Amino acid sequence: MTKQSNTIQQHRDFVGPAQTYDVMSAIQFIRLYQIGLRGNSTLLEIGAGSLRAARLLIPFLEPGHYFGVEPDKNLVDTGFDLELGREICNIKSPKFVYNAEFNFSELGLPTTGIDFAIAQSIFSHTSLKQFINCLQNASAILNPFGIFIATFVEGDTDYRGSDWVYPGCVKFQKETVKQIAADAGLHVRFMNWVHPNDQTWMLLCKNLNIIEQIPASDDIMMIDYIRTIDELRRRINYAKSLMPIRIGLWIRKLLFQR
């Protein structure tokens, strides 16, 4: 194994198993897109790490629309060196701050608020006090229709320690999460979305109607996809029945048979 591949293994392993690094990149992007993220959206990633999700999000978003907070600057730097390349900063102008207090004040966020925020597997390691602090700070920077998507590990009791726990995980009860969210002025909805590490997805928003319109189950999403595919097939079959199309397909068949 080369020195570079060793480094790649290290920075990927630090944020989770290296063998699922690409999987979690894709899942975070898909979940955000699923709830409405588009190229012109603004996004705050809480816990950018080694850019596991950002390597897809930064190129996707318009310049200046990605914001990240991460305690370990070296981890972000390694992500740029080995995942994205430094040139992307000149093109997309992502902005980062480095602290463990979930302090977003120096990011230069839009005064109108952020459209989306994500904290994947952050509350699986925080103390209750840190959890509360993050939700309150996130609520302050979300716009009135913004959505905060996050995960946590559900349990029958709450972690009562005062320290960040890593690489182990901590657990919180759903009722506790609901109370933390309510105290921060946020509605919360728990989603029946698949997570490879059995964490629970949740959506937080100031406007309950926004998150109630999002399908809470992957099964529902699959039904929508199947319906879309069936409709496309119907349209294709109808188009093939039209005389000009039939003639064109017949001529094409003759040409390719030669």
Same domain, 22 and 49: yes
Q: What is the pLDDT of residues 156-184, one digit of tens each?
A: 999 999 999 988 999 999 999 999 999 99
* Longest Cα separation, the chain: 76
pLDDT computed for residue 5 by the predictor: 42
Please give the Cα distance from 75 to 45 (Å, whole number). 14
Same domain, 140 and 165: yes
> What CATH number is associated with residue 184?
3.40.50.150
Same domain, 231 and 106: no
pLDDT computed for residue 166 by the predictor: 87
Same domain, 231 and 191: no
The boundaries of the domain holding residue 44 are: 3-216
Task: Say which residue, 9 or 76, is predicted with more confidence.
Answer: 76
**CA end-to-end distance (rounded Å), the chain:** 52
Same domain, 182 and 246: no
pLDDT computed for residue 114 by the predictor: 98
CA distances from 251 to 242, 246, 255, 258 (A): 14, 9, 6, 11
Number of domains in the chain: 2
The mean pLDDT of the chain is 87
Alpha-helical runs (H) found in the chain: 3-13, 21-34, 54-60, 73-79, 87-92, 128-141, 174-183, 208-212, 218-241, 243-257
Same domain, 177 and 73: yes
On whether the pTM is more than 0.85, the answer is no
Name the amino acid, one letter, at 237: N
pLDDT computed for residue 258 by the predictor: 55
pLDDT computed for residue 20 by the predictor: 66
Same domain, 247 and 209: no
Q: What is the pLDDT of residues 78-121, one digit of tens each?
A: 999 988 999 999 999 999 999 999 999 999 999 999 999 999 99
Q: What is the pLDDT of residues 187-196, one digit of tens each?
A: 999 999 988 8
- Whether the CB-CB separation of 110 and 80 falls below 8 Å is answered with no
Same domain, 248 and 173: no
Same domain, 171 and 247: no
pLDDT computed for residue 222 by the predictor: 52
Same domain, 234 and 199: no
Count of CB atoms situated within 10 Å of the CB of 114: 22
Which residue from 168, 110, 149 is spatially nearest to 30, judged by alpha carbons? Answer: 149
- Whether the CB-CB separation of 29 and 59 falls below 8 Å is answered with no
Same domain, 165 and 237: no
Same domain, 104 and 188: yes
